[in-house]
Structure 1
Amino acid sequence: MVDWPALTRSRTKRELYARETYFREGLADAEEVADGQLSTVLHEGALLVVKPDGLASGQLLPVLDYLGEHGFTVAGARDLLFQPFHWRELWRYQLTSATLDRLAVNELVLGAGPALLLLLRGEPGHLLPGAVRLSTLKGSATLEMQKPGTLRALLGQPNRILSYVHVADEPADLLRELGLLLDPAARRALLGSLVNGAPAAEDEDTLRRARERFAAPVRSLDRADALERVTRAVDEAGPGPAADAARYRLERMARDERVAWRPFLAELDAAGARPDRWDLAVLGTYVIEYDEPGFAKVLTNPDARSWESVPRPDTSIGDRHRENV
């Protein structure tokens, strides 16, 4: 039976995840690998992904320092290449209000380079599970809502999309995301490292190589730099109606006006302009409309204070789910 109160304090999340294979596979592997330590492992475990924009902008070492300062150690580290289905499924319950332009920009950002998945173990003795504590420490992706001392505030993310890191918000999300992002062998190996509390040699090597490669920024994510280079690519493509249309949109971007993104990409293609993917990705994060009005997320995170009480175990959803399998 699924001990839902140990995994999430969201009733909606229980209903959704009980019917989802990503979560069920992650939970099944964790139950087998944990060998009787599942409750401890899930209470202390946490998951953080340094996104491609976080690595490219040199944020890995500050992230690792912040984690250490707040009692988290790396139990496992794996390189990750986001495929479109990865991030669409990862945020499927949060992207119900996203514009198609935002999806197109997400595709550019998350596919522009490697990411690094870190499976973490928090120090014992905390009332909140490690995943919940780290989610609170992460801070909001919305700049106006960030609190001093949170990770994203310290990293100085430039806008809502270039948020540098992703964190699993509750133990249920940790299991679901391991089921989604990793193949069975890698998932089970990382869970084994989480149980042991120390990374395997492969994970230590992955983290060492990432530290060396991304110790400093490998490219600029500055808006002005991106705008200049994309404009240069259009100019180099030569004259023509499509280039003129793209140039007009670039002029609007330079005036801090928002533009329709997918028509702009079509104009670049028709003009034969081939700007660098990162420059396109960065520029798009500043100039698109993020969300459609009037649509709410399917899931929002429960208040972390809901974890301060110990509710009566409720396995009714898990029971119904198992009866239907």
Structure 2
Amino acid sequence: MRTASATPGSAVAATALDTLTADPAKREVYRYDTYLREGLRSFAGVTGLHRSHDFTFVVLKPDAVAGRRCELILGILRDEGWLPAAATTIRFDPLLTRELWRYQFNAASEQRIDVVDHLLGSGPALLVLLRDVRRPPGMPASVRLTAAKGSADPEAARHADLRTRIGRVNGLLNFIHTADDPADVVRELQLFSYQAGWEWCREALAGDAPRAAERARSADPAHALLDVVHAAIPAHDLDVDAALGRLSRSTGVWAELARRAGTPEQIGEWLAELRRGTALPDGAGRWDVVTVTTQWIDCNEHGVAPILPTSSAAAWRADTDERLRTEQEVASCRV
């Protein structure tokens, strides 16, 4: 008679993620993740799972739209070999935000939680599927982009990081989100699919690779949506001093705060208004408040580590080398 302890806790096989992530902890945690399980089926229904190595995606967040960084970002990505293959718009809501970063949000500070929905909920984001035409053998598109992107924390920035090149402002106004590795490509496309479906990227994922790469070189589906997102979100300088000046010359609660509590040490008063549900100003004024609050908060809880930290390209290379050695040893034993 089967005991309860012998009953599997996951319908996802222990080896199902071996080629999708180099992180042993993620392989185990994701076996119990509903979105990953559904994503494996959805992605395989569109194309082979191995194609998750050829593609990744970038989300140009509302701050990238407000800061008018989208064309710059797409241009840099294209120059570096990540070509737009398909695009659509999405809107962040509190649930999508928390589920997308489910395994990192445990380390978010209360201040970040107070602010993040006002930032990401400020308008549409642009979701762009990218084909990597320069990826070296054994290096997935997502892993190469993760290595190039750099940290969300400006203090950990390197001069050549993509986020540095696109002028990231602070830990939240960093403009882009990407998948760490193929497991995250599968999981997060599934999450986006509840809003966007799969049709927007089905042809690109399932298409003939050489022809699709050639089409991606000559066409850019993302640019066709720039007018849409720009029309929804006003341009903004994302400059904290300028934002404080504009707010202080306006009227209402936020104007009073700008005049009376205009230093980082007084961020608690601003966050208290957000927690009370005080409405943000319309138009560019909303971005003035977002700029000030994101600049002054502490993003992470000190001493708290994310459940799953960002995967590294070095870990992927080491894992690949180890698997190759194991395969060679097994093959030699058969001789």
TM-score (norm 1): 0.81
- Please tell me the root mean square deviation across aligned C-alpha atoms, in Å: 3.0
In structure 2, relative to structure 1, the CA distance for the partners of 1:86 and 1:266 (3 Å cut) is closer
Q: CA deviation at 1:164?
A: 0.4
Structure 1, unmatched stretches of 5+, are 238-242, 314-325
Indicate yes or no: 2:97 matched with 1:84. no
Letter in 2 for 1:7: L
Q: Secondary structure at the match of 1:96?
A: helix
Q: CA deviation at 1:176?
A: 0.8
Structure 2, unmatched stretches of 5+, are 1-12, 325-335
191-200 vs 302-311, greater mean Cα deviation: 191-200
Q: Secondary structure at the match of 1:28?
A: helix
String of CA shifts for 1:79-122, please: whole Å, max 9, x gaps. Answer: 11111111111112112122222112111110111100011111
Task: Give yes or no for contact 2:92–2:121 (8 Å, CA) kept in 1.
Answer: yes
Query: Structure 1: how far apart are the matches of 2:92 and 2:144?
Result: 25
Task: Give yes or no for contact 2:96–2:191 (8 Å, CA) kept in 1.
Answer: yes
Task: Give yes or no for contact 1:226–1:280 (8 Å, CA) kept in 2.
Answer: yes
Residue in 1 aligned with 2:185? Answer: 174
TM-score (norm 2): 0.79
Q: Secondary structure at the match of 1:76?
A: strand
Task: Give yes or no for contact 1:120–1:194 (8 Å, CA) kept in 2.
Answer: no
Higher relative contact order, structure no. (Cα contacts within 8 Å, ≥ 6 residues apart):
1
In structure 2, relative to structure 1, the CA distance for the partners of 1:250 and 1:74 (3 Å cut) is same
Q: CA deviation at 1:172?
A: 0.4
Query: Structure 2: how far apart are the matches of 1:292 and 1:84?
Result: 19
In structure 2, relative to structure 1, the CA distance for the partners of 1:220 and 1:6 (3 Å cut) is same
Residue in 2 aligned with 1:97? Answer: 107
String of CA shifts for 1:141-164, please: whole Å, max 9, x gaps. Answer: 111211122210101111111000
- Point out 4+ residue stretches in structure 1 off by more than 6 angstroms: none
Residue in 2 aligned with 1:64? Answer: 74
String of CA shifts for 1:174-194, please: whole Å, max 9, x gaps. Answer: 111111112387225414312
Query: Structure 2: how far apart are the matches of 1:70 and 1:96?
Result: 33
Task: Give yes or no for contact 1:227–1:279 (8 Å, CA) kept in 2.
Answer: yes
Query: Structure 1: how far apart are the matches of 2:143 and 2:204?
Result: 20
Q: Secondary structure at the match of 2:105?
A: coil
String of CA shifts for 1:184-238, please: whole Å, max 9, x gaps. Answer: 87225414312325489xx9666313168649982221112221233334xx33x
Identity %: 33
Task: Give yes or no for contact 2:66–2:234 (8 Å, CA) kept in 1.
Answer: yes
Indicate yes or no: 2:152 matched with 1:141. yes
Query: Structure 2: how far apart are the matches of 1:64 and 1:206?
Result: 8
- Tell me which of 15, 23, 29 is aligned to 1:16: 29
Task: Give yes or no for contact 1:162–1:285 (8 Å, CA) kept in 2.
Answer: yes
Letter in 1 for 2:109: T
Indicate yes or no: 2:272 matched with 1:295. no
Q: CA deviation at 1:11?
A: 1.6
Task: Give yes or no for contact 1:30–1:188 (8 Å, CA) kept in 2.
Answer: no
Q: Secondary structure at the match of 2:265?
A: coil
Indicate yes or no: 2:267 matched with 1:259. yes
- Tell me which of 164, 167, 178 is aligned to 1:156: 167
- Tell me which of 240, 247, 255 is aligned to 1:230: 247
Q: Secondary structure at the match of 1:297?
A: coil
Query: Structure 2: how far apart are the matches of 1:99 and 1:137?
Result: 26
Indicate yes or no: 2:223 matched with 1:207. yes
In structure 2, relative to structure 1, the CA distance for the partners of 1:112 and 1:280 (3 Å cut) is same
In structure 2, relative to structure 1, the CA distance for the partners of 1:306 and 1:205 (3 Å cut) is closer
Query: Structure 1: how far apart are the matches of 2:242 and 2:261?
Result: 16
Q: How many residues are aligned here?
A: 297
191-200 vs 301-310, greater mean Cα deviation: 191-200
Query: Structure 2: how far apart are the matches of 1:304 and 1:75?
Result: 23
Query: Structure 1: how far apart are the matches of 2:221 and 2:280?
Result: 39
Query: Structure 1: how far apart are the matches of 2:16 and 2:197?
Result: 25
Task: Give yes or no for contact 2:36–2:187 (8 Å, CA) kept in 1.
Answer: yes
Task: Give yes or no for contact 1:56–1:218 (8 Å, CA) kept in 2.
Answer: yes
- Tell me which of 30, 35, 54 is aligned to 2:43: 30
Query: Structure 2: how far apart are the matches of 1:170 and 1:310?
Result: 17
